[in-house]
Structure 1
Amino acid sequence: MEDKTTKYGPQDDLPAVAGDRISQKSLPQSTRDIEKQTAPEDAQLHRKLGSRHLQFVAIGGTIGTGIFIASGTSVATAGPVGALLAYVFIGTLVYSVMLSLSEMATFFPISGAFTRYAGRFVDPSLAFSMGWIYFISWSITYALELTVAGIIIQWWNSSLSIGIFITIFWVPLTLVNYLPVDLFGEFEFWFASIKVIALLGFMIFGICINAGAGDQGYLGFHYWKSPGAFAPYLTDGAKAKFVGFWAVLIQAGFAFQGTELVAIGAGESANPRKTMPRAIRNTFWSIFLLFVFTIFFIGILVPYDEPRLTIGDSNASSSPLVIAAQLAGVQVLPHIINAVLLTVVLSAASSNVYSGSRVLVGLSEERCAPRFFQKTTKRGVPWVAVSITAAFGLLAYMNLSEGGGTVFNWLLNIVSVAGFIAWSCTFICHLRFMDAMDSQNIARDTLPFKSWGGRWLAWYGLTFCVIITLTQGFTAFVPWSTQDFFISYVSLLLFVVAYVGHKVVTRSKFVKSSEADLVTGRFNEEVTEVWEESPRSWWKKLYPRFFS
């Protein structure tokens, strides 16, 4: 029989950690010291997020302008089939990321998730660089969403200043993030549900229009034949189709970025060994199917040579969903889509603040940020981290001046590649996690959740994420453009500078597999039950008299 013991004794006798029912006195002295250093008394996140809350926080942060607007550019660049293949391919990478995350997050459901795994299994310098790039990415995205919200409203009245709406939306979205996490999760659940309903409604609409309900009559796969299934890009012949497909990968990656946010809430999830696998699995399939089917219907309803697909506006005028309706002769839909877009952007914005603040807490617990970032209210809200993350939203005011808008656009380029960097680091963490388990004689069969792909799936995801990250700016080379080069690779350059700088200053060492901490942060299965999963049960607890 395989030996399943570790240096702390049999697997079943591993000590519990903060938050478990077992006394802290059962921890080894070294582990208790770590807990004291990384979890001050006033920094206790509450485990009150259920599976559906985790799912919709991730859906809220993922489904945004990337699919409602930028998907039109993807179809124009690669054609309907090229764009569809690009989204499916990126979906396989995201699936690999989610499986790797699920295996670690169910074993160590801690705040900050994968940013902290880097410091525990790989290298503290990797945790520093990865965590800060990821935090900056989501913080800047908050400013982006506030700007887009103003542009969306300008579609109805262009005389109004964007600055008015940046202020109007920044205040309530920031305040929502000071709510206890269970109330925030419920808010995000209902707010993000609008996006899901909108995309499902578009699919039903697409079926009807394609079948002949619109002015164009029956379409079928006509646009796959004329103008074609693949769009040529930058060159001629067969290679032009591949170049178009490859160019869309970074756009598809940006659209999928945020799916991994479900693991950010691991430190606040109730019964994580049960809720986390279900939340991660459901989140991936929900987002993947919504994205793939949306791209598919756009491809059969709108030809890739439609000029309006490449307008570049951030409102309904350049949304492929609206263009599909206009081609079909439906005139009222643009107003409805624009209203939906507003809720889409605002939901994503609130999720950005939540995600950024929890990453900041994780960085603090890994000693990669000041310790006071861990301070929480009595209801478990990390108010310092929320305040700092929300303050980044004020960068949106830079768009009110021409020079500031240029700087803001440069900042946005950090966002586009940060997701691929985070995914690559997640795969590295998972590979090192498996090495640590092997070195310490812990069988993977003892894990609450086991990735079916194991090492080969992690290597598959890591290989292609690194290739895409390194080649995503290939257009800067044909012909050479110094400005385009820095625009494409600013994220990667900042990541390398942060890593090398931290390594030089702290002289941190790589973590040996045999010495990796596989104890601190483990969660006992026996936890206090919190609110039930169904929305009806949630409202019943708030207003029992109406359900008696």
Structure 2
Amino acid sequence: MEVSPERGTAQREEIPKAIDHLTEKPVAHSGSDIEKQVPLQTQALHRKLRSRHLQLIAIGGTVGTGIFIASGTSIATAGPAGALIAYAFVGTLVYSVMLSLSEMATYIPIAGAFTRYAARFADPSLGFSMGWIYWFSWAITYALELTAAGLIIQWWNSDLSIGIFITIFWVPLTALNFAPVDFFGEFEFWFASIKVLALIGFTFFSICINAGAGQQGYIGFEYWRHPGAFAPYLLESTGAKAKFVGFWAVLIQAGFAFQGTELVGIGAGESANPRKTMPSAIRKTFWSIFLMFVFTIFFIGILVPSDNEDLLTGDTNAGSSPLVIAAQLAGVKVLPGLINAVLLTVVLSAGSSNVYSGSRILVGLSEEGCAPQFFQRTSRRGVPYVAVAFTAAFGLLAFMNLSDHGGQVFNWFLNIIGVAGFIAWSCINICHLCFRRALHAQNISPDTLPFKAWGQPYLAWYGLFFCVIITLTQGFTAFIPWTTEDFFVAYISLILFALLYVGHKLVTRSKFIKPHEADLVTGRFFEDVSESWEESPRSRWKRAMNYVF
């Protein structure tokens, strides 16, 4: 690795600090790493998460009501083919984001990951605004999942108040996040595996039903012909323009479903061996989620007609799940209760991942000076208990649903969640472009990176362009016809992001990071010098395949 003499003064001073840190007594974690120093009253995060833990934490936070319930609305809006194309297209954007994240997270695996890269490679104000709106979206999502859990229980007994179950589930899920990270990772691994098995089981079930095992007989692609592969939306005509509007309207729904795939990068600071585990975890997480989503949307589209009224009920239990509707159409009567039980594990798994991710984002914001330092305080077992408690407290906002006025405010909060994902994806690609620019300015070849992704930086530009376009146009329904309230509901997250950015810029007078001054040292992960650098032909072939898959 070549380093030019023009590298910034701050970074040159950091190198001897990093070297001195290697000789210090290790702080209760495995693996050789160099982390930015935190106050003496804190402990360090423990590096105990393995690749499978990182994958299932991300899957646990991603695979939730977005695919189990909201996917039915997507098919009703755009038709089976329109929804399938929309999910596949958003999947390509997520792919560009994950490749961008993989290069940075393996080179500098730190707590908070991409929320800190923005402040280090691009602009401190960008890191501040991105980090806080992203944290807020996951904190509010925790409240959403607790509410959904109560509604799912009401499917069995509608007389029970959801407030009872918000309390019942908030206590153990919050307590779980105070456990050591390896225990949490193991629990989430098995808990999230249930939803994976459920989707795999639905795939085999769909093949059998479509082939004629159900009361409908052989179906094939009948529903792609009648009522049609594409559905018109909003416009009075049924032509290509109305069908394209339906496709575009589903993009934000698909983005909400995919949101959370990037969570695998949040655990970079607690990964046991980031140079090996992070590329594998990021790659496998994306393909697992992408294939599960695409196959699920495809099979729902061939089993349930897009004009089925049950797809648009808006309920949050088994009654509106397209998986249950498909079973009912096939004449299977025992499945709704089973699916509802699976839905309960789905939202609870997602809720625990929300608290974990939000707390680590707070730690990253604190270490970058964008949040109070007490968020860095950790227990002897490496749990950032202050950040966990603060994030989990926002789950209690779920009680707002018990009052009419509170529910309206809560719905506004929920609109922040949907677009926050696209904002985060845009910022990750911006960070990667600035990261590559800093490497070039400091004469560091991309070939020396622990993981070099194929197609970069062109894929980052591709993802950035379409994420920005979708973010700006996702509220187009407010213009057909014009509705002031709908406009603010659709763009409240973008407005909040802009206010945070401008406010931080005015208060701190922060400047854009110059490429030759970008900090590429603090938090670097240095492999054990005793490790052999010789690479076998099999390893070289495997590494080459990793560029693509």
TM-score by length of 2: 0.91
Using a 3 Å threshold, how does the CA distance of structure 1 residues 258 and 136 change in structure 2: closer, same or farther? same
- Tell me the secondary structure at the aligned position of residue 22 of structure 2: coil
Using a 3 Å threshold, how does the CA distance of structure 1 residues 49 and 277 change in structure 2: closer, same or farther? same
Distance in 1 (alpha carbons) for counterparts of 2:463 and 2:303 = 32
How far 1:455 moved relative to its partner? 1.3
The residue aligned with 1:508 is: 510
The residue aligned with 1:534 is: none
- Tell me the secondary structure at the aligned position of residue 207 of structure 2: helix
Q: Contact 2:154/2:162 (CA < 8 Å) preserved in 1?
A: yes
The CA deviation string for residues 278-301 of structure 1, in whole angstroms up to 9 with x for no partner, is 000000000000000000000000
Q: Contact 2:35/2:523 (CA < 8 Å) preserved in 1?
A: no
The residue aligned with 2:100 is: 100
Using a 3 Å threshold, how does the CA distance of structure 1 residues 19 and 216 change in structure 2: closer, same or farther? farther
- Tell me the secondary structure at the aligned position of residue 418 of structure 1: helix
Distance in 2 (alpha carbons) for counterparts of 1:518 and 1:308 = 53
The residue aligned with 2:44 is: 44
Using a 3 Å threshold, how does the CA distance of structure 1 residues 101 and 331 change in structure 2: closer, same or farther? same
How far 1:17 moved relative to its partner? 7.1
The residue aligned with 1:76 is: 76
The residue aligned with 1:464 is: 466
The CA deviation string for residues 472-493 of structure 1, in whole angstroms up to 9 with x for no partner, is 0000011000000000000000
Is the aligned partner of 1:211 residue 2:207?
Answer: no
Distance in 1 (alpha carbons) for counterparts of 2:195 and 2:477 = 33
Is the aligned partner of 1:259 residue 2:249?
Answer: no
Q: How do 1:524-535 and structure 2 match up within 5 A? A: 524-526=526-528
Distance in 2 (alpha carbons) for counterparts of 1:121 and 1:285 = 28
Is the aligned partner of 1:129 residue 2:113?
Answer: no
The residue aligned with 1:322 is: 324
Is the aligned partner of 1:429 residue 2:431?
Answer: yes
The residue aligned with 1:200 is: 200
Q: Contact 2:84/2:297 (CA < 8 Å) preserved in 1?
A: yes
The residue aligned with 1:233 is: 233
The residue aligned with 2:59 is: 59
The CA deviation string for residues 494-525 of structure 1, in whole angstroms up to 9 with x for no partner, is 00000000000000011000100111110112
TM-score by length of 1: 0.92
How far 1:15 moved relative to its partner? 4.6
> Residue 505 of structure 1 aligns to which amino acid in structure 2?
V
Q: How do 1:158-307 and structure 2 match up within 5 A? A: 158-235=158-235, 236=237, 237-307=239-309
The residue aligned with 2:543 is: none
Distance in 2 (alpha carbons) for counterparts of 1:135 and 1:528 = 39
Q: Contact 2:76/2:231 (CA < 8 Å) preserved in 1?
A: yes
Using a 3 Å threshold, how does the CA distance of structure 1 residues 322 and 20 change in structure 2: closer, same or farther? farther
Distance in 2 (alpha carbons) for counterparts of 1:526 and 1:296 = 46
The CA deviation string for residues 66-108 of structure 1, in whole angstroms up to 9 with x for no partner, is 0000000000000000000000000000000000000000000
Q: Contact 1:145/1:345 (CA < 8 Å) preserved in 2?
A: yes
> Residue 470 of structure 2 aligns to which amino acid in structure 1?
I
Structure 1 outlier segments of 4+, above 2 Å:
3-9, 14-25, 33-36, 38-41, 526-529
Using a 3 Å threshold, how does the CA distance of structure 1 residues 212 and 350 change in structure 2: closer, same or farther? same
The residue aligned with 1:30 is: none
Q: Contact 2:81/2:230 (CA < 8 Å) preserved in 1?
A: yes
Using a 3 Å threshold, how does the CA distance of structure 1 residues 219 and 34 change in structure 2: closer, same or farther? closer
Distance in 1 (alpha carbons) for counterparts of 2:35 and 2:88 = 42
Q: Contact 1:20/1:527 (CA < 8 Å) preserved in 2?
A: no
Q: Where does structure 1 lack aligned partners over 5 or more consecutive residues? A: 26-32, 530-548
The CA deviation string for residues 240-266 of structure 1, in whole angstroms up to 9 with x for no partner, is 111000000000000000000000000
> Residue 102 of structure 2 aligns to which amino acid in structure 1?
S
> Residue 184 of structure 1 aligns to which amino acid in structure 2?
F
Using a 3 Å threshold, how does the CA distance of structure 1 residues 340 and 459 change in structure 2: closer, same or farther? same
The residue aligned with 1:35 is: 36
Is the aligned partner of 1:91 residue 2:88?
Answer: no
Distance in 2 (alpha carbons) for counterparts of 1:39 and 1:355 = 22
**Aligned mate of 1:6, from 4, 11, 19:** 4
How far 1:234 moved relative to its partner? 1.1
Q: Contact 2:43/2:380 (CA < 8 Å) preserved in 1?
A: no
Q: Contact 1:106/1:277 (CA < 8 Å) preserved in 2?
A: yes
Q: Contact 2:324/2:335 (CA < 8 Å) preserved in 1?
A: yes
How far 1:311 moved relative to its partner? 0.3
Q: Contact 1:20/1:526 (CA < 8 Å) preserved in 2?
A: no
Using a 3 Å threshold, how does the CA distance of structure 1 residues 8 and 268 change in structure 2: closer, same or farther? farther
Distance in 2 (alpha carbons) for counterparts of 1:19 and 1:405 = 54
Using a 3 Å threshold, how does the CA distance of structure 1 residues 78 and 19 change in structure 2: closer, same or farther? farther
The residue aligned with 2:368 is: 366
Q: Where does structure 2 lack aligned partners over 5 or more consecutive residues? A: 8-13, 26-33, 532-549
Q: How do 1:518-529 and structure 2 match up within 5 A? A: 518-526=520-528
**Aligned mate of 2:338, from 336, 349, 353:** 336
Distance in 1 (alpha carbons) for counterparts of 2:126 and 2:66 = 28
Using a 3 Å threshold, how does the CA distance of structure 1 residues 325 and 471 change in structure 2: closer, same or farther? same
Q: How do 1:339-418 and structure 2 match up within 5 A? A: 339-418=341-420
Q: Contact 1:399/1:408 (CA < 8 Å) preserved in 2?
A: yes
Q: Contact 1:16/1:22 (CA < 8 Å) preserved in 2?
A: no
The CA deviation string for residues 141-160 of structure 1, in whole angstroms up to 9 with x for no partner, is 00000000000000000000
Distance in 2 (alpha carbons) for counterparts of 1:90 and 1:527 = 41
How far 1:18 moved relative to its partner? 6.4
> Residue 494 of structure 2 aligns to which amino acid in structure 1?
L
Distance in 1 (alpha carbons) for counterparts of 2:103 and 2:67 = 28
How far 1:453 moved relative to its partner? 1.2
> Residue 119 of structure 2 aligns to which amino acid in structure 1?
G
Distance in 2 (alpha carbons) for counterparts of 1:316 and 1:184 = 28
**Aligned mate of 1:454, from 456, 469, 473:** 456
Using a 3 Å threshold, how does the CA distance of structure 1 residues 74 and 16 change in structure 2: closer, same or farther? farther
Distance in 2 (alpha carbons) for counterparts of 1:502 and 1:185 = 35
**Aligned mate of 1:419, from 418, 421, 439:** 421
- Tell me the secondary structure at the aligned position of residue 420 of structure 1: helix
Distance in 2 (alpha carbons) for counterparts of 1:18 and 1:270 = 19
Q: Contact 1:107/1:522 (CA < 8 Å) preserved in 2?
A: yes
Q: Contact 2:115/2:364 (CA < 8 Å) preserved in 1?
A: yes
Distance in 1 (alpha carbons) for counterparts of 2:134 and 2:57 = 17
Distance in 1 (alpha carbons) for counterparts of 2:336 and 2:528 = 51
